[in-house]
Amino acid sequence: MAFNMGAFLGGAATGLVDRIEDDERKAEKKADRDDQRAYTKSEEARLYKRGIRDAKQAKTNALAGFLTSLNFNPDTVAKIMKSGNLSAEYWAEQGQLANQKGINPNTLISFSPSGELNEATKTNFKEVVDAAPENNVSASTPVGMGEISSGAEAAASGNVTLADGFTVNVEAMARLHAPADEDEKTYGAALAVLSQKMLRKPDDPLMDSWKEEQTKLLKDLGAYEEAKRDKGEKGDAFGLGTISSQVNEIRGGAVKPLGMSIGLKGELLGLNDGNRHLAYIADLNVANQLKGRNTEIQSATMDFAIDGIQGAALDNLTDYALNIYNTKRDTVIDGGTIGDAFDKNMREGAYKVGSVIYMNSGMLLMYTGVTDINTGQKFVVLNEGMSTP
């Protein structure tokens, strides 16, 4: 039988093609399997990443919702969330503390010196929240910051001393006046912290910004109280802690030129018999400045404190002047009659601060150099109908 080369070649070619095609099919299947595995892995990675994103977004949404529930307004929540979840967790924690202490966290952020959610704002926020319990001091209130002396006094005795000769019973005061609402407590605590800073650090480079912030707070609080009055609501933004802080702040500035200062418990340092009367005059200055701060706010508690501080100062000055009149009469100035000559002497500096002056009408005066917010005069009448020295 003859060998058919053509048939052989044809068959070999066909087998080769079959093998090639079979190899290609196997390769394609393997590629498909590899692609499938690659697709599966990439899909798993995509789903995993999406799961992480979803979980993160869920946490972000939850934090944003929680911040809103803490009374942060939408704009503030948006600012907080822009800085990330870690920052949001911080503000959520601080917001809870603020609410627990009767402080409005949303309002408090607007009090920050910069208005931005930076480290300065965080520090300011924490200081005010820490001081909040001292704002409306009760007999059981512990001391939160050393510079607010009223808390320690109240805890020990139930009383707060605001001036030499004037002490307030905390519980009696609380019964007389309306309790502060959340926003009033926030204003009060913020003002207390500012007063503490201004007393502790009179030469701090931030003093001007603190004064601006204080002015704005007082103005905003005045508008808030006026709005409450317009609605027939009774409010009182100044607790004794806030008043005590402001008294010490103003007194600290008033006695500094006299070589005196304020101690951590609110006591006058550097006081002696030779300058004691000048400290009483400084208290008249304190009362006047407090009156100015309270003009728009109209806090009944502050009015009570002002009257007490001013009354105690006048009583002490009267005792001092009478002692001078009776024991050192040669130092008493003859003021003649109240009129143009007397006014001219005051304008030209003929009288020193603390000078005791006897008028022909029998009035005993003292030149204080402090413009009285009620009379507009720089002297006070201490006694009338006295005999000629």
Task: Identify the pLDDT of residue 8.
Answer: 39
Instruction: Compute CA distances 178 → 83, 136, 168, 233, whole Å.
Output: 40, 11, 16, 10
Residue 310 has pLDDT above 70, yes or no: yes
The answer on 106 and 73 residing in a single domain is no
Best CA proximity match to 254, nearest among 322, 208, 311, 313: 313
In a domain, residue 262? The reply is yes
> Does 384 or 296 have the greater pLDDT score?
296
In a domain, residue 16? The reply is no
The answer on 378 and 262 residing in a single domain is no
For 3-13, what is each residue's pLDDT tens digit? Answer: 443 443 344 44
Task: Identify the pLDDT of residue 230.
Answer: 93
The answer on 244 and 373 residing in a single domain is no
Q: Are 108 and 125 in contact (CB under 8 A)?
A: yes
State the angle between helix axes of 300-327 and 240-255 in degrees (0 to 180), rounded to the nearest 10: 40
Task: Read off the pLDDT of each residue in 283-292 and give the average, rounded to a whole number.
Answer: 94
The answer on 260 and 140 residing in a single domain is yes
pTM of the model: 0.75
Task: Identify the pLDDT of residue 193.
Answer: 87
The answer on 145 and 115 residing in a single domain is yes
Domain count, the chain: 3
The answer on 336 and 201 residing in a single domain is no
Best CA proximity match to 185, nearest among 104, 246, 248, 112: 104
The answer on 220 and 122 residing in a single domain is yes
**Summary mean pLDDT of the chain:** 78
Task: Identify the pLDDT of residue 43.
Answer: 58
Best CA proximity match to 310, nearest among 218, 383, 373, 238: 373
Residue 309's domain comprises 102-319
Task: Identify the pLDDT of residue 385.
Answer: 62
CA dihedral sign, ordered 180, 237, 314, 160: positive
Q: Can you read off the two tokens belonging to residue 6?
A: 């053509």
For 180-228, what is each residue's pLDDT tens digit? Answer: 788 888 888 889 889 988 998 889 999 998 999 899 999 999 999 999 9
Model confidence band, residue 15 (pLDDT cutoffs 50, 70, 90) = low
The answer on 363 and 349 residing in a single domain is yes
